[in-house]
Amino acid sequence: MAHRSSITGRYISKAAAARHPRTSVTESGSNKSSGTHHRSASSGRFITPAQAARNPKGSLTERG
């Protein structure tokens, strides 16, 4: 599994993800979808673009 920072968008270590659970996203599987999707860093669920705009440090934008 890969861990990604929602602030920078870069991959981070497992230890860094454990230290900052609210601003990191754990990815599993392959991302084969197309388009742009927004995901909450705290819950891991997909969110609307408006929600991502209101909370840019707590969300991750994925482009496929």
For 11-54, what is each residue's pLDDT tens digit?
999 999 999 988 888 877 665 567 888 888 888 889 999 999 99
**Where does the chain show beta strands of DSSP type E?**
2-5, 11-12, 24-27, 36-40, 46-47, 59-63
pLDDT over 90 at 9, yes or no? no
Three-state secondary structure call for residue 48: coil
Contact present, 7 and 57 (Cβ < 8 Å): yes
User: What's the confidence (pLDDT) of residue 53?
Assistant: 94
User: What's the confidence (pLDDT) of residue 48?
Assistant: 93
Stretch 3-17: mean pLDDT: 89
pTM of the model: 0.56
